[in-house]
Amino acid sequence: MVKLVVTNRVGATVEVDAFTGISMMENIRELDDSVDAICGGMCSCATCHVFIEPSLWDSLPERGYEELMLLKDLESFDPERSRLSCQIEVTGDHDGIALKVGPEE
């Protein structure tokens, strides 16, 4: 288990005990005011949008083409910080990583 530091849609920050080997989305979707993840992690809805500071990206997998195309359709897309949380598998390298849930669109 690792800790994720999650700021939800209303600005509250909580520490989450996260399981490794499953996605960031699966670890945070049950929190209050968190991601909707309507497609269940199939990379087709972008409702699992989160912001992660660029300085923390070293431990993340590359942003894939499909992920980027979905993100670019969002009004809140930030080229420097936007990720789909369903496309990030949590590993031991993510202990303490901070993320902010994207706005509802």
Residues that bind ligand FES (CB under 6 A): 25, 37-39, 41-48, 84, 86
> What is the distance between the alpha carbons of residues 55 and 20, in angstroms, rounded to a whole number?
21
Partner residues linked to 101 by β-bridges: 50
Which uninterrupted H or E stretch holds 72? helix 65-72
User: What is the closest distance, in whole angstroms, from the C-beta atom of residue 41 to ligand FES in the complex?
Assistant: 5
In 24-103, beta strands by DSSP E: 49-51, 82-84, 97-101
User: What is the closest distance, in whole angstroms, from the C-beta atom of residue 40 to ligand FES in the complex?
Assistant: 6
Rank residues 55 and 105 by Cβ distance to ligand FES and give the closer one: 105
Report the residue closest to ligand FES, judged by CB. Answer: 86
> What is the distance between the alpha carbons of residues 86 and 26, in angstroms, rounded to a whole number?
7
Rank residues 55 and 73 by Cβ distance to ligand FES and give the closer one: 73
Rank residues 28 and 48 by Cβ distance to ligand FES and give the closer one: 48
